C-alpha cells in the first residue's frame, strides 16, 4: 500500500486576515518612515542625551523604590487583612478599597499638593514647611508606593491563602512559633505563587512611573517633555522615550522569564527563598 499524501486543512479566512494585517503594518511603517514632519536625524542625537539618561536613572529609581516599599507595606497589609482582630483586618480592607478605588493620577497630584491642607510639619523638636519635605520626588514616590501597596497586599494575601492549612498545622505541631512557621514554612511556599504577579507589576510600574511627569518629578517622560518644550521636537522625543521604555520593559520581561523558569523548574525540587532568585540574577549577570 502506498502512503497517501496528507494535506492539512487550509484556513482561507486566516490567510486573508494575515494579508490584510501585513498591508496595514507596511503602510504605517511607510507613513512614519517617509514623513517629512519627523526629523529622524535628531533621534540618535537625543537618545544618549545626558538629560534623557538622568531621566532613565530616576525612572528606574522610582520603579525599584516603589516596588520595594510596596512589597514591604503589602506584606504588612496582607498579614493585617488575615488577622483575627477586626480592627486590623478592617483597616487593611479600607486601605485597599481606597487606594485601588481612586485613580493613581489623582493620588499623585494630591500628594504633590498636600501642603494646601497641611502647610507645615510640626514634630515638636522639628518644624518644617511641608513643601520642603514633600518635594515632587517624595510626592511621586509616596503616591506610587502607597497605591502599589494596595495591589501587593492582595497579591501576597492570595499567595498566603494558596498554602494548604495543613502546612501551618504541621509546623505548629512541631513546635514552630507563629513567626517561625510564617518565615520558614508558609512564606517560602507562598513566594512561588507571588513571584509571577510581582514580576508583572514591576514591568507595569516601569511604565506607570511616567504618570509622575504631571508633577514634573524628573523621570524619563518629564525630561523628554522638558526638551521638547524648548525645541518643539515633540514626536521625536516621544519616540526617544518610547524606545527607552521598550528596552527597559524588554529587559525586565527577560529577567522575569528567567526567574520564573527557575521557580517553575523547582516544582519537583522547590527552592523557596529569595536567595534562589538572587542566585539566578547573579548567575545571569556574570554570563552577560
Partner 1 sequence: MNAPMNSRSKVVEAIDVHKSFGPLEVLKGINLAVRKGEVVCLLGPSGSGKSTFLRCINHLERMTQGRILVDGQLIGYHERGGALDEMSGRELAVQRRDIGMVFQRFNLFAHQNVLTNISQAPILNRGQSKDAAVARAKELLKMVDLEGREQAYPNQLSGGQQQRVAIARALAMDPKLMLFDEPTSALDPELVGEVLGVMRKLAADGMTMIVVTHEMAFARDVADRVVFMDQGVVVEEGPARDVIDNPQHERTRAFLKRMH
**Rule CB under 8 A: which residues touch partner 1?**
164, 166-167, 169-178, 180, 184-185, 188-189, 192, 268-272
Smallest distance, Å, CB 77 to partner 1? 21
Smallest distance, Å, CB 175 to partner 1? 3
Smallest distance, Å, CB 177 to partner 1? 4
Q: Is the CB of 193 or the CB of 235 nearer to partner 1?
A: 193
Q: Is the CB of 69 or the CB of 191 nearer to partner 1?
A: 191
Q: Is the CB of 8 or the CB of 166 nearer to partner 1?
A: 166
Q: Is the CB of 44 or the CB of 166 nearer to partner 1?
A: 166
Smallest distance, Å, CB 257 to partner 1? 22
Q: Is the CB of 180 or the CB of 231 nearer to partner 1?
A: 180
Tell me the C-alpha distance between 92 and 157, whole Å: 11
Phi then psi for residue 129, to 5 deg, are -65, 135
Smallest distance, Å, CB 152 to partner 1? 22
Amino acid at each position: 500500500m502506498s502512503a497517501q499524501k496528507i494535506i492539512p486543512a487550509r484556513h482561507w479566512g486566516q490567510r486573508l486576515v494575515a494579508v490584510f494585517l501585513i498591508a496595514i503594518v507596511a503602510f504605517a511603517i511607510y507613513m512614519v518612515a517617509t514623513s517629512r514632519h519627523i526629523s529622524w536625524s535628531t533621534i540618535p542625537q537625543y537618545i544618549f542625551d545626558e538629560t534623557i539618561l538622568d531621566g532613565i536613572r530616576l525612572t528606574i529609581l522610582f520603579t525599584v523604590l516603589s516596588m520595594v516599599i510596596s512589597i514591604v507595606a503589602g506584606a504588612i497589609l496582607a498579614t493585617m487583612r488575615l488577622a483575627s482582630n477586626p480592627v486590623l483586618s478592617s483597616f487593611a480592607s479600607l486601605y485597599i478599597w481606597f487606594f485601588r478605588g481612586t485613580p493613581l493620577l489623582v493620588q499623585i497630584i494630591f500628594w504633590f499638593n498636600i501642603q494646601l491642607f497641611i502647610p507645615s510639619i510640626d514634630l515638636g523638636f522639628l518644624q518644617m514647611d511641608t513643601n520642603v519635605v514633600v518635594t515632587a520626588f517624595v510626592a511621586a514616590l509616596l503616591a506610587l508606593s502607597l497605591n502599589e501597596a494596595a495591589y501587593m497586599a492582595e497579591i501576597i494575601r492570595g499567595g498566603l491563602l494558596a498554602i494548604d492549612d495543613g502546612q501551618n498545622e504541621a509546623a505548629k505541631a512541631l513546635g514552630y512559633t507563629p513567626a517561625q512557621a510564617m518565615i520558614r514554612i508558609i512564606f517560602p511556599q507562598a513566594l512561588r505563587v507571588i513571584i509571577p504577579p510581582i514580576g508583572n507589576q514591576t514591568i507595569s510600574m516601569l511604565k506607570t512611573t511616567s504618570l509622575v511627569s504631571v508633577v514634573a518629578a524628573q523621570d524619563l517622560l518629564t525630561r523628554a517633555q522638558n526638551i521638547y518644550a524648548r525645541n518643539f521636537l515633540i514626536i521625536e522625543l516621544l519616540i526617544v522615550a518610547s524606545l527607552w521604555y521598550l528596552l527597559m520593559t524588554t529587559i525586565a520581561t527577560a529577567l522575569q522569564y528567567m526567574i520564573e523558569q527557575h521557580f517553575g523548574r523547582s516544582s519537583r525540587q522547590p527552592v523557596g527563598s529569595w536567595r534562589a532568585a538572587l542566585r539566578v540574577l547573579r548567575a545571569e549577570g556574570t554570563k552577560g
